[in-house]
């Protein structure tokens, strides 16, 4: 198969294979270097999360110590024991205030403590701190259950939708007299967001998710709950401290570290695209550069081989153009500067052959045109238009004799229009004659539409002698009736107005109908508009005026501000007879 392809492509393929071998080698070495660099970034990221996790763990250890300090404080225990036996409301209030003040002294105003809550044996709450709230019964019940299970040990309760604080709770047992009787329990609400923000600010990046899991793999914190879906159940932690995961078609870089004190796992999830954007861009730039050089060398190779095979390929293109039927422009896009070798001789012989073929085609085409014209004239002769005109004249007189004035006028107007359409020897007529055709056409349509059709003419008398192409106004009036009057229920006003501006005549036909499609104007200008009717149509009139007077003259279509459309015909001024003085206005 390789032997059958063009010589030019053989040389291009050989050059491409050499370049491809070098490119693959270079890109492979570069890819290996990128992999080593990525591994180093992974390792450094894992070390960063380990440092941050130890700092957070140390701060939480302080919170645990604070909870122990509150639970074993002699004043706190004394106040709780007093509250168990006080029945006087005032004394209970005073003791409660002293307990709250003691909580403030111990640590309720700590930077990372939102509030400290103490509950006595009767579940009465005493709270102090920067931001105290009323815990929901359901959350309070959960806390009490967990503290009961620990029997005086620390219990950690994760944030909830209603309370975003991490909670450290433990029972308060009487140790003053070593009875270990349960006096109540304490709740320390920890502002975990502030701790993480202060201690992991160097890891804060856009779309970065920070998570904390306890030693039972229960999630204790996440800074963006909507990202919970990223970490699935198939995450298996390894000793490296990092791994790549994929979720919803996007890759994520996960680093994690287990703290020594609480044995909690701290995890940071970062979109791969955010972390390695620069590396990805550099890799893309290198690949694009290699690809660009590869294409450039292929281009140089093809230009070199083209000097050898281009004459043969140009002859082949000529043959292909002839094959698809382009007999006149078969040499379009082909360089006609041939060398004097065998390839040039083939070009010259081919051109002579095509010239002889085109001469034979032209001679046969002219014969076919003459035959078609003869057939058309024969068909026209089969229906004599004068017979129709004479018939209408007979109907007119018969209607007059019978006293049918409407039928007589319709037959007379139809005969006038028919006679004008039969007599096509004159390409140009006066504006007065053209308006007369319109009047007779309107007369016919008035009998059909009666009061729904209203027609008005505004034509200066001195313009009636102007010469215009025959049958250019009546088709536009017909379009106004068809697409204006017939599309509305109320009466339709059609106005024919003629103006003179800068040695030009503007013939304007306007109506108050529903308007016209705005695309028709652009289609008319580009010559792509096709009439849906069977009449002469706007496109034919526009092309006819372009052929007679040039591109500046023709038809323009403008929709009204609210409704209606105005069709303007622009013509040069040509006068036949200066003696006409009357003005037409109705």
What is the mean predicted confidence (pLDDT) over 552-571? 87
**What pLDDT does 362 receive?**
76
| DSSP annotation string for 262-280 | S--EEEEEEEHHHHTHHHH
Average pLDDT, the chain: 79
**What pLDDT does 116 receive?**
94
What is the mean predicted confidence (pLDDT) over 35-56? 74
Q: If pLDDT is split at 50, 70 and 90, which confidence band does 335 have?
A: low
- Render the burial of 302-323: b for 16+ CB within 10 Å, e for the rest: eeebeeebbbeebbeebeebbe
Assess whether pLDDT exceeds 60 at residue 275. Answer: yes
Tokens matching residue 391: 């018939």
Q: If pLDDT is split at 50, 70 and 90, which confidence band does 292 have?
A: confident
Domain segments of the chain as ranges: 42-275, 450-585
**What pLDDT does 121 receive?**
84
CA torsion sign for 148, 150, 153, 155 is negative
Assess whether pLDDT exceeds 60 at residue 164. Answer: yes
**What pLDDT does 473 receive?**
92
| Angstrom distance (rounded) from CA 421 to CA 344 | 59
| Angstrom distance (rounded) from CA 388 to CA 266 | 101
In CATH, the number for domain 450-585 is: 3.30.565.10
**What pLDDT does 269 receive?**
82
What is the mean predicted confidence (pLDDT) over 543-556? 84
| Angstrom distance (rounded) from CA 559 to CA 544 | 23
Residues 356-398 have pLDDT tens digits of 887 777 777 766 765 565 454 544 444 455 556 667 677 767 7
- In the three-class reduction of DSSP (H, G, I as helix; E, B as strand; rest coil), residue 230 is classed as coil
CB 438 within 8 A of CB 496: yes
Residues 100-141 have pLDDT tens digits of 999 999 888 888 999 999 999 888 999 999 898 988 989 899
Q: 108-112, 217-221, 576-580: which has the minimum mean pLDDT?
A: 576-580
Residues 482-528 have pLDDT tens digits of 888 888 888 999 999 999 988 899 999 999 888 877 776 666 555 56
Tokens matching residue 433: 């004659």
Residues 433-465 have pLDDT tens digits of 999 999 998 988 888 888 889 999 999 999 999
| Residues 6+ positions from 529 with CB-CB distance below 8 Å | 520, 523, 538, 539
The more confident residue out of 571 and 260 is: 571
**What pLDDT does 532 receive?**
55
Name, of 174-188, 297-311, 535-549, the range with top average pLDDT. Answer: 174-188
What is the mean predicted confidence (pLDDT) over 544-563? 83
| Residues 6+ positions from 115 with CB-CB distance below 8 Å | 108, 127, 128, 129, 130, 131, 132, 133, 188, 189
CA distances from 543 to 69, 296, 430, 539, 552 (A): 100, 49, 21, 6, 12
* Alpha carbons within 13 A on the beta-carbon side of 501: 9
Name, of 264-273, 312-321, 485-494, the range with top average pLDDT. Answer: 485-494
CATH architecture of 42-275: 2-Layer Sandwich (3.30)
Tokens matching residue 521: 């104007």
| DSSP annotation string for 136-181 | -HHHHHHHHHHHHHHTTS-EEE---SS---EEEEEEEE--SSS---
The more confident residue out of 39 and 156 is: 156
Helix/strand/coil (H, E, C) string of 529-569?
A: CCCCCCCCHHHHHHHHHHHHHCCCCEEEEEECCCCCEEEEE
Whose structure tokens read 């290198």? 286
As beta bridge partners, residue 294 has none
Assess whether pLDDT exceeds 80 at residue 56. Answer: yes
As beta bridge partners, residue 458 has 497, 585
The more confident residue out of 292 and 368 is: 292
What is the mean predicted confidence (pLDDT) over 177-185? 85
Whose structure tokens read 């409704």? 563
């Amino acid at each position: 198969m390789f032997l059958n392809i063009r010589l030019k492509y053989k040389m291009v393929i050989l050059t491409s294979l050499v370049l491809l071998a070098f490119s693959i080698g270079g890109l492979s070495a570069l890819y290996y270097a990128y992999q080593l660099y990525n591994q180093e970034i992974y390792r450094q990221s894992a070390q960063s999360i380990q440092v941050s996790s130890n700092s957070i763990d140390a701060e939480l250890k302080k919170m645990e110590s604070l909870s122990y300090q509150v639970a074993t404080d002699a004043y706190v225990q004394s106040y709780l024991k007093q509250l168990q036996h006080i029945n006087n409301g005032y004394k209970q209030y005073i003791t409660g205030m002293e307990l709250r003040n003691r909580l403030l002294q111990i640590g309720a105003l700590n930077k990372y403590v939102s509030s400290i809550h103490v509950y006595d044996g009767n579940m009465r709450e005493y709270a102090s701190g920067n931001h105290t709230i009323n815990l929901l019964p359901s959350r309070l019940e959960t806390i009490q259950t967990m503290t009961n299970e620990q029997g005086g040990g620390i219990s950690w309760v994760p944030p909830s939708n209603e309370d975003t604080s991490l909670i450290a709770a433990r029972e308060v047992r009487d140790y003053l007299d070593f009875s270990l009787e349960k006096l109540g329990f304490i709740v320390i609400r920890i502002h975990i967001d502030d701790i993480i923000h202060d201690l992991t600010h160097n890891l804060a990046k856009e779309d970065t998710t920070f998570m904390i899991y306890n030693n039972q793999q229960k999630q204790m914190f996440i800074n963006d709950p909507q990202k919970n879906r990223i970490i699935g159940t198939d995450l298996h932690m390894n000793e490296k401290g990092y791994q790549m995961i994929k979720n919803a078609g996007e890759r994520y870089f996960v680093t994690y570290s287990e703290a020594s004190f609480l044995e909690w796992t701290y995890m940071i999830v970062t979109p791969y695209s955010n972390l390695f954007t620069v590396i990805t861009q550099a890799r893309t730039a290198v690949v694009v550069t290699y690809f660009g050089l590869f294409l450039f060398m292929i281009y140089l190779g093809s230009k070199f081989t083209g000097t050898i095979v281009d004459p043969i390929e140009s002859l082949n293109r000529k043959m292909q153009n002839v094959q698809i039927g382009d007999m006149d422009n078969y040499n379009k896009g082909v360089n006609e500067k041939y060398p004097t070798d065998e390839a040039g001789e083939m070009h010259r012989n081919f051109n002579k052959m095509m010239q002889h073929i085109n001469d034979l085609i032209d001679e046969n085409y002219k014969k076919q045109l003459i035959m078609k014209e003869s057939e058309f004239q024969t068909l026209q002769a089969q229906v004599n238009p004068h017979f129709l005109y004479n018939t209408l004249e007979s109907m007119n007189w018969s209607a007059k004799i019978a006293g049918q004035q409407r039928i007589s006028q319709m037959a007379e107007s139809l005969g006038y229009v028919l006679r004008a359409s039969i007599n096509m020897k004159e390409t140009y007529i006066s504006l007065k004659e053209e308006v007369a055709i319109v009047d007779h056409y309107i007369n016919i349509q008035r009998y059909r539409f009666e009061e729904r059709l209203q027609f008005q003419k505004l034509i200066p008398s001195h313009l009636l002698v102007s010469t215009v192409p025959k049958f250019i106004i009546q088709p536009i009036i017909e379009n106004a009736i068809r697409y204006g009057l017939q599309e509305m229920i109320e009466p339709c006003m059609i106005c024919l107005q003629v103006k003179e501006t800068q040695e030009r005549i503007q013939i304007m036909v306007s109506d108050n109908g529903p308007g016209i499609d705005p695309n028709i104007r652009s289609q008319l200008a580009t010559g792509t508009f096709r009439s849906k009717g069977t009449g002469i149509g706007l496109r034919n009139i526009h092309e006819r005026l372009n052929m007679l007077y040039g591109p500046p003259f023709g038809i323009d279509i403008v929709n009204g501000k609210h409704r209606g459309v105005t069709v303007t015909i622009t013509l040069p001024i040509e006068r036949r007879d200066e003696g006409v003085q009357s003005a037409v206005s109705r």
